[in-house]
Amino acid sequence: MRHLLDRHVVFFAGKGGVGKTTCSAAFALAAARGGRRVLLVSTDPAHSTSDIFEQPFSAEERQVLPNLAGLEIDSAHEARRYLDEAKARMAGLFSPAVVKEAARQIELTAAMPGVADVALFDRMTDLVLARGGGYDLVVFDTAPTGHALQLLRMPELMVTWIDALARRRRDVAAAQAAGGEVEAGGAASDPVLEILERRAGRLRAMRSELCCADRVAVVLVLVPERLPIEETGRAVHLLEEAGLQPAGVVVNRVLPDGLPGDYFRSRSAQERTYRDEIDRRFGNLRRVTIPQFESDIHGLAGLEWVGQHLLADPARAR
């Protein structure tokens, strides 16, 4: 994965429990140790970055180590910020009576499914389009595969919806102009239409950035077992369908060779079968193997050990 150190944004995705947090944290730490200014961002609701670094992260960026800052995005916090900004924009567009009713409607949407995801994606967009602001590299530790893919595909889905709203707004304005209700051409200065068009432009910019393989990379993490392999296969298909080519695969927790006993020989044989399948199904992607460690990975020493394997010479990667 050394080739990804020159990217601006790297996402680590995969099935729950396969080691995404470990790999993303180890990669971020290795990049920081190498002199890059790195921001490690957790978008998983069940944040583990604080645990693995053994120090607190928060909903605001904070320095963790030299060259390394951390951020655990709080969906509820981002949703509140997102809705408050929406109400502030409304206040500048409409009369107090309309604003009051609009604010009430906005508050009713606060508990609706999907609002937190939109707010989370909005925060991710800030980080990606700014390319980390003062950082050289932003590393995302994502939620399990399905949720992560939903976020990565959100620009494609939302821009279609917003374009439809904008067309409807133009049609209404044109009908009003034709009926003499407003001056012809009034839609050109329609503040709501301007907001929709800015939003669509921002989504298109995010989609363009995500599809730029020179700047953004998605790494899929799995373990050599049946279910993670199948889920990774679906993830590759959905990413490619959305125009996002995965940059590599991390095969995590591989048993070392030569362990004694019938149990370990049996497990190793089964694992060998799955590793051969991984090579066959993902042969067009760079692959790196992380061996099973003797104990849980936490703290800097363990992360540095994983980072050494992630950035191993190509001869050591399969």
> Where is 167: in which H helix or E strand?
helix 154-178
First to last CA, the chain: 11
Which pair of structure tokens corresponds to residue 226? 């049946």
Q: Of residues 6, 44, 117, 257, which has the active-site annotation?
A: 44
Across 6-136, the runs of DSSP E, i.e. the strands, are 9-14, 38-42, 62-65, 68-72
CA-atom Rg of the chain in angstroms: 23
Write the CA distances from 210 to 153, 156, 178, integer angstroms: 9, 11, 41
Q: Are the C-beta atoms of 316 and 32 separated by less than 8 Å?
A: no
Distance of CA 68 to the CA centre of its chain: 18
Q: Phi and psi (nearest 5°) for 295?
A: -145, 175
How buried is 232 (Cβ within 10 angstroms: 0-12 exposed, 13-18 middle, 19+ buried)?
buried
Across the chain, the runs of DSSP E, i.e. the strands, are 9-14, 38-42, 62-65, 68-72, 137-141, 216-222, 248-254, 287-291
Alpha-helix residue ranges (DSSP H) falling in 11-56: 20-33, 49-53
Q: Are the C-beta atoms of 254 and 292 separated by less than 8 Å?
A: yes
Which pair of structure tokens corresponds to residue 175? 């009908």
Please tell me whether residue 144 adopts helix, strand or coil conformation: coil
Query: What residues contact 85, with CB distance under 8 A and at least 6 apart?
Result: none
- The yes-or-no answer on residue 44 being catalytic is yes
Q: Would you name the residues annotated as active-site residues?
A: 44
